[in-house]
């Protein structure tokens, strides 16, 4: 008696795949014959079909594409590797030490490009109202600086604001950045009163304690009459209610309390419920101006990317954006490369911003930038504000023309510890420029 040969499950599976493949190819061939006959009235001619397809693509009406940012040349990329080497970013695993080239470079940002743009361009005759927004306003001094620059109104004065806050000695020199604290503000002595612009400056601060102090100073100086608005709300990629640190039992202007602080410690007595908005919904409810957003700053303890993702409409009218890149909060869920590319599609060219120095990120990407380290990024909308973009590109080119040993951030001898100085010296001597 002969034994029957039993086909294995593997053979049956292979036969099934073969049958499906043959069936699919037959259907595709029949469809292409029909399609080809409809177009050229002849037997199948795949080369002609391909030619027809490319012609159709070439003749499609052009979309209003976002102007592409130019890519860095090989020479520029080599210079960037010297200025912002990867070595310490990769080797130092503790992110809170911030021992990374682009972290050092952006530790003391001074937006000379924005000042140059306003002093040279806006004073030429722009009569439009100024609109600035500071998300994560903290002590309010940066917002006062922005309002002073945007409106050229001397009522926005950091020394007076510090006194209005009434919190200890906040007028001391900023030793870490070798700048002169409250005295380091735009000189308006030669500005005519006719140059003063109306404006709106929104100071958005989530911590109730900080917001209370801010409102105290604004009321003392009457700044609400000049368009300075303090809002005690949080900003993210969703709107609703959220448990947020009250700021009580913390120092004034503490910077390490954000959206996730209460989610980590839900039983904390120092948490209160506040409103949370996307930037789009905040603008719809609180912002009066319908004109361009001249200056948007975001610094919210690791939730900057979330705020950007909730600002589709706002970004479409924003000329200049600054945000903080970090390793805390929600930043580990985002890649900087993805945020930069998303902003590029919205017309923005972004840079690491330093003390009068810029290093372009858009079109000049280096892989170690995706290592989450604290730093500051600034972006110009090349479509809405081509002049500002031109100014920033000029600063970028000047920065690249500077020898590493002469960069402001390398020359700053007061940054951090002795270890920081050792690392900065290694950057200065270009010791690890070929490190990958």
CATH class of the region 88-404:
alpha beta
Confidence check: pLDDT of 43 > 70: no
Contact between 284 and 121 under an 8 Å Cβ cutoff? The reply is no
Q: Parallel, antiparallel, or unpaired for β 358-360 and 348-353?
A: antiparallel
Are 410 and 364 in contact by the 8 Å Cβ rule? The answer is no
Mean pLDDT computed over every residue of the chain: 81
- Rounded Cα distance between 335 and 86, Å, is 17
User: For the segment 189-211, what is each residue's pLDDT rounded down to a tens digit?
Assistant: 888 888 888 999 999 999 999 99
Q: Which of these ranges, 127-131, 179-183, 345-349, has the smallest mean pLDDT?
A: 179-183
CA distance 122 to 131: 13
How buried is residue 379: exposed, middle or buried, by Cβ count under 10 Å (0-12/13-18/19+)?
buried
Residues forming beta bridges with residue 199, ordered by sequence position: 130
Q: Which of 322, 367, 269, 296 is nearest to 109 (CA)?
A: 322
d(CA 258, CA 329): 8
Query: Is the pLDDT at 364 greater than 50, yes or no?
Result: yes
pLDDT above 60: residue 363: yes
Sequence-distant (6+) residues with CB within 8 A of 377 are 106, 322, 323, 324, 325, 336, 350, 351, 352, 353, 361
Whether the per-residue pLDDT at 46 is higher than 90: the answer is no
Q: Given this model, what pLDDT does residue 403 score?
A: 95
pTM over 0.85: no
Given a cut of 70, is residue 425 above it in pLDDT? yes
Question: Chain centroid to CA 304: how far?
Answer: 7
- How far, CA to CA in Å, does 242 sit from each of 29, 188, 406? 58, 41, 47
Q: Which pLDDT does position 411 carry in this prediction?
A: 86
pLDDT band at residue 170 using 50, 70 and 90 as cut-offs:
low
The answer on pLDDT for 63 being more than 50 is no
Mean pLDDT throughout 369-393?
96
Rounded distance between C-alpha atoms, residue 57 and residue 80, angstroms: 38
Check whether 286 has a pLDDT greater than 70: yes
- Give residue 352's pLDDT: 98
pLDDT of 7 over the 80 cut: no
What is the per-residue pLDDT across 76-120, written as a single tens digit (0 to 9) for each? 999 999 999 999 899 999 999 888 999 999 988 889 999 888 877
């Amino acid at each position: 008696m002969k034994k029957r040969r039993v086909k294995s499950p593997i053979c049956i599976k292979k036969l099934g795949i073969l049958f499906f493949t043959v069936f699919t190819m037959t259907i595709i061939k029949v469809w292409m014959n029909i399609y080809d006959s409809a177009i050229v009235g002849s037997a199948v001619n795949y080369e002609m079909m391909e030619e027809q397809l490319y012609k159709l693509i070439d003749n499609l009406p052009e979309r209003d594409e976002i102007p592409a940012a130019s890519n860095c040349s090989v020479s520029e990329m080599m210079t960037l590797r010297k200025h912002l080497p990867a070595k310490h970013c990769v080797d130092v695993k503790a992110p809170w030490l911030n021992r990374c080239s682009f972290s050092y470079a952006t530790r003391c940002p001074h937006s000379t490009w924005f000042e140059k743009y306003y002093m040279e361009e806006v004073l030429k005759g722009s009569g439009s109202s100024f609109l600035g927004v500071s998300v994560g306003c903290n002590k309010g001094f940066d917002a006062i600086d922005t309002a002073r620059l945007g409106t050229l109104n001397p009522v926005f004065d950091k020394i007076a604001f510090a006194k209005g806050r009434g919190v200890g000695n906040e007028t001391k020199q900023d030793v870490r950045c070798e700048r002169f604290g409250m005295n380091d503000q735009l000189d308006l002595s030669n500005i005519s009163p006719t140059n003063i612009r109306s404006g709106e400056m929104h100071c958005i601060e989530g911590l109730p304690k900080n917001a209370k102090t801010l409102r105290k100073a604004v009321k003392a100086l009457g700044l609400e009459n000049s368009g300075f608005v303090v809002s005690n709300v949080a900003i993210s990629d969703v709107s609703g209610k959220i448990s947020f640190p009250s700021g009580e039992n913390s120092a004034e202007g503490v910077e390490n309390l954000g959206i996730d602080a209460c989610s980590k410690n839900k039983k904390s007595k120092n948490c209160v419920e506040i409103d949370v908005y996307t930037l789009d919904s905040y603008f719809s409810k609180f912002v009066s101006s319908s004109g361009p957003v001249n200056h948007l700053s975001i610094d919210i303890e690791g939730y900057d990317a979330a705020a950007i993702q909730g600002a589709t409409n706002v970004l479409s009218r924003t000329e200049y954006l600054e945000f903080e890149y970090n390793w805390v909060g929600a930043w580990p869920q985002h890649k900087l490369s993805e945020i930069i590319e998303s902003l590029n599609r919205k017309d923005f060219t972004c840079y690491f911003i330093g003390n009068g120095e810029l290093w372009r990120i858009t079109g000049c990407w280096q892989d170690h930038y995706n290592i989450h380290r604290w730093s500051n990024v600034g972006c110009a909308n090349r479509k809405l504000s081509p002049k500002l973009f031109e100014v920033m590109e000029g600063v970028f080119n000047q920065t690249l023309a500077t020898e590493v040993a002469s960069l402001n951030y390398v020359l700053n001898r007061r940054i951090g510890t002795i270890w920081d100085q050792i690392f900065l010296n290694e950057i200065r001597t270009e010791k690890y420029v070929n490190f990958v």
